Amino acid sequence: MEKLSELSIVCDNWASAAPGLAKNLGILDLDQIELAKKLLHEGQCHLFANWADQGVDDEKKKCFFAQVSRLNGNYPGGLSAYIQNARHLLADSKAGKNPFEGFIPSVPSGEVLTFGDDNFVMFEEAGVKEARKAAFVLVAGGLGERLGYNRIKVSLPSETTTGTCFLQHYIESVLVLQEASCKLLQETFHVEIPFVIMTSDDTHIPTLKLLESNYYFGMKPDQVILIKQEKVACLDDNDARIALDPTDKYMIQTKPHGHGDVHSLLYSSGLLNKWRDAGLRWVLFYQDTNGLLFKAIPASLGVSVTKGYHVNSLAVPRKAKEAIGGITKLTHSDGRTMVINVEYNQLDPLLRATGHADGDANGETGYSPFPGNINQLILELGPYIEELTRTHGAISEFVNPKYKDSSKTSFKSSTRLECMMQDYPKTLPSTARVGFTVMDTWLAYAPVKNNPEDAAKVPKGNPYHSATSGEMAIYRANCLILRKLYLLLERSEIFFFFLAGVKIADPATVVFNGQEVEIWPRITWKPKWALTFSDVQKKVKEGCSFSQRATMVLNGPNIYLQGLSLDGTLIIHAVNEAQVQVSGSVQNKGWVLMPADYKDKSLPEEISIRGFVIEKLEQLEIAGRENSGSSD
């Protein structure tokens, strides 16, 4: 009777509206009644429409309420807030409302860096110093549907010369930054940079297994913190009626809410306050498959420190209409301003509607004046905590229903609210210091997102963003870094022109998995060999040259190259204490890239997905043990 009156508070005729619920009242406890009240109040009676009589499927009904309880607990403001937000956003979507109504776009201010110049080196040094006050957050909850790789994306090798997977590369980079940061400040105390991974039900267990089976890639297990995002309820119509799983009438259909969840999760986990109390100042967010990212991190963190940015978005030069968002300042007629990412398909109409007749067009530099957002963010911890305390971690959301027809009354399939990590600045006050750091694409951005078939269809000149292009980008970046060294030496040591610098052969052009790519010499190094340009400068001296066939692996902090001529494969592993000086000529059959068909099921997927396999014909291996000397 008590339960009956509880539900009657919501609506008098609830029993006829939700007879399935009425006949099961006897098995519900008070918490479940509370949840049922919420659902009825939000017009979700249909969820109980096909419930069996009490005594049948009772366990499943319990599971239903357990799921409702999770969905309610995981959303800021609970399920009611979710449904109400959805109704507003669905109404806006149906009305075709322009989210930028009243806003005038302009180019925000930020820092444009030139790799290798004095400014860049200065920012890198500032960034390394500050790294001991940073926490790193990897968002890795995505399904990776576009890549179609069977395992989690962070387990994929970033390149196959060493076979280092993305997660290993990220962890090793953080460990090296941690050590370099303390060393630079000549501080003897030991700092452990927190390393957070946001997972989801799709990625949590495999991520944990990958870490455990590899001893956390050298990081202390308690330095790695996994936080799991939950999915959100799917919606069947514009009234935000929650969708049931087509295969189970006692289960709500759910889908991912997007990487924006990372903010509410960090807020509710209590980690942010803990970090602030421990003296940390920065939180760096980044994504699962960008093998170049850590080449850009030290300098961009240096920009955050030097410029005092509350929000610093990493960006690359963007061609007009290129399919990446543009970082844009928006100023409203009512005085509001914000600096945010505007998706490429929204930028052109926004510009045209606000007096820019050419829309999204290139400027004098040949690039769009709006830098291309690569979704790596550096936030200053203090202002970040202030903002999340105000918003309770909620982040601006959007909905993207696929309508059946122009009446926009029904959907082709259920939809849900989504949110993006980069939309965090949307709610910031106009006093917030929001900037960006632009670096060359070759240095900073080569994500692995697309499967071979889709990548092969990418129009010529646009990036493939495949496993093939991601790997080639790493070799190219390393070669261009070494070439930069060559240019500097050439300029500064003009009298020693013939001896100076590093000569890198030009790349060959090859087609793998239907994608035309440049193969540069396969020069790779572990983060402990070099994380910054200054590290490379210290370790590579004059007179080195690499043929296009060259493959080199540098694994050890004290390996020095001088007068090395490589035409083949050279692998150097040296323990931390070993100093290895390498010079002279190395020539052997080397390692050759042989085409492999992605449809060939006999190949491991991480190989077929990139369309080539490295055939290891011959190599010179040097093992640097303690007190080992030079190798000629």
> Which residues contact residue 97 at a Cβ distance below 8 angstroms, ignoring those fewer than 6 apart?
none
530-484-574 Cα angle (round to 5): 25
Query: Considering the rule CB under 6 A, would residue 288 count as an interface residue with ligand UTP?
Result: yes
Options 449, 465, 539, 549; binder of ligand UTP; rule CB under 6 A: 449
Q: Which is nearer to ligand UTP, 265 or 552 (CB)?
A: 265
Phi, psi of 624 (to 5 degrees): -90, 110
State the number of CA atoms in the 13 A half-sphere of 59 facing the CB: 0
- Rounded Cα distance, 33 and 21, in Å: 10
Q: How many other β-carbons are positioned within 10 Å of the β-carbon of residue 1?
A: 6
Options 105, 110, 116, 142; binder of ligand UTP; rule CB under 6 A: 142
Q: Which is nearer to ligand UTP, 255 or 526 (CB)?
A: 255
DSSP 40-106: HHTT-GGGGTTPPPTTSSHHHHHHHHHHHHHHHHTSTTHHHHHHHHHHHHHHHHHTT--TTTTEEEE
- Rounded Cα distance, 145 and 143, in Å: 5
Options 258, 291, 527, 590; binder of ligand UTP; rule CB under 6 A: 258
Residue type, 144: G
Which residue has its beta carbon closest to ligand UTP?
Answer: 142
Query: For 145-203, where are the alpha helices, taking DSSP H only?
Result: 166-184
Q: Where are the beta strands (DSSP E) in 140-239?
A: 195-199, 224-228, 232-233, 235-237
Among 232, 255, 233, 237, smallest CA distance to 403 is for 237
Q: Which is nearer to ligand UTP, 258 or 452 (CB)?
A: 258
Minimal distance, residue 141 CB to ligand UTP, in Å: 3
Give CB contacts under 8 A, 24+ apart, made by 23-29: 23/51, 23/53, 23/54, 24/48, 24/51, 24/53, 24/54, 24/58, 24/61, 25/54, 26/54, 27/54, 27/58, 27/61, 27/62, 28/3, 28/65
User: Tell me, what DSSP letter sits at residue 230?
Assistant: P
**Looking at 6-14, 133-141, 494-502, 611-619, which segment touches ligand UTP (CB under 6 A)?**
133-141
Phi, psi of 67 (to 5 degrees): -65, -40
Options 121, 135, 140, 564; binder of ligand UTP; rule CB under 6 A: 140
Query: For 108-153, where are the alpha helices, taking DSSP H only?
Result: 118-130
Q: Which is nearer to ligand UTP, 147 or 234 (CB)?
A: 147
The two tokens of residue 97 are 């409302």
Query: Considering the rule CB under 6 A, would residue 59 count as an interface residue with ligand UTP?
Result: no
Query: Considering the rule CB under 6 A, would residue 318 count as an interface residue with ligand UTP?
Result: no
**Looking at 137-145, 242-250, 403-411, 527-535, which segment touches ligand UTP (CB under 6 A)?**
137-145
Minimal distance, residue 221 CB to ligand UTP, in Å: 21
**Looking at 105-113, 182-190, 251-259, 268-276, which segment touches ligand UTP (CB under 6 A)?**
251-259
Minimal distance, residue 107 CB to ligand UTP, in Å: 25
Q: Which is nearer to ligand UTP, 75 or 103 (CB)?
A: 75
Query: Considering the rule CB under 6 A, would residue 198 count as an interface residue with ligand UTP?
Result: yes
Minimal distance, residue 206 CB to ligand UTP, in Å: 12
Minimal distance, residue 451 CB to ligand UTP, in Å: 9
Q: Which is nearer to ligand UTP, 257 or 318 (CB)?
A: 257
Query: Considering the rule CB under 6 A, would residue 263 count as an interface residue with ligand UTP?
Result: no
**Looking at 88-96, 245-253, 254-262, 297-305, which segment touches ligand UTP (CB under 6 A)?**
254-262
Minimal distance, residue 255 CB to ligand UTP, in Å: 9
**Looking at 44-52, 120-128, 256-264, 499-507, which segment touches ligand UTP (CB under 6 A)?**
256-264
Minimal distance, residue 472 CB to ligand UTP, in Å: 19
Q: Which is nearer to ligand UTP, 194 or 568 (CB)?
A: 194
Query: Considering the rule CB under 6 A, would residue 146 count as an interface residue with ligand UTP?
Result: yes
Query: Residues binding ligand UTP: what is the number (CB under 6 A)?
Result: 19
Options 144, 393, 452, 611; binder of ligand UTP; rule CB under 6 A: 144
Options 143, 191, 575, 622; binder of ligand UTP; rule CB under 6 A: 143
Q: Which is nearer to ligand UTP, 141 or 298 (CB)?
A: 141
User: Tell me, what DSSP letter sits at residue 342?
Assistant: E
Q: Which is nearer to ligand UTP, 143 or 182 (CB)?
A: 143
Minimal distance, residue 400 CB to ligand UTP, in Å: 13
CA torsion 547→550→594→470, rounded to 10°? -100
Minimal distance, residue 97 CB to ligand UTP, in Å: 25
> Which residues contact residue 95 at a Cβ distance below 8 angstroms, ignoring those fewer than 6 apart?
none
Q: Which is nearer to ligand UTP, 401 or 590 (CB)?
A: 401
Q: Which of residues 210-229 bind ligand UTP (CB under 6 A)?
A: 229
- Rounded Cα distance, 233 and 212, in Å: 32
> Which residues contact residue 336 at a Cβ distance below 8 angstroms, ignoring those fewer than 6 apart?
430
Options 287, 304, 422, 437; binder of ligand UTP; rule CB under 6 A: 287
User: Are the C-beta atoms of 616 and 588 separated by less than 8 Å?
Assistant: no
- Rounded Cα distance, 438 and 367, in Å: 12
Query: Considering the rule CB under 6 A, would residue 141 count as an interface residue with ligand UTP?
Result: yes
**Looking at 139-147, 234-242, 291-299, 555-563, which segment touches ligand UTP (CB under 6 A)?**
139-147
Query: Considering the rule CB under 6 A, would residue 452 count as an interface residue with ligand UTP?
Result: no
Strand (E) or helix (H) holding 22: helix 19-22
Minimal distance, residue 271 CB to ligand UTP, in Å: 16
Minimal distance, residue 419 CB to ligand UTP, in Å: 9
Minimal distance, residue 342 CB to ligand UTP, in Å: 17
Query: Considering the rule CB under 6 A, would residue 521 count as an interface residue with ligand UTP?
Result: no
Options 61, 259, 329, 416; binder of ligand UTP; rule CB under 6 A: 259
Among 190, 78, 66, 161, smallest CA distance to 478 is for 161
Minimal distance, residue 154 CB to ligand UTP, in Å: 8
- Rounded Cα distance, 417 and 398, in Å: 6
Among 293, 312, 269, smallest CA distance to 425 is for 312
What is the contact surface with ligand UTP in residues (CB under 6 A)? Answer: 139-147, 198, 200, 229, 256-259, 287-288, 449
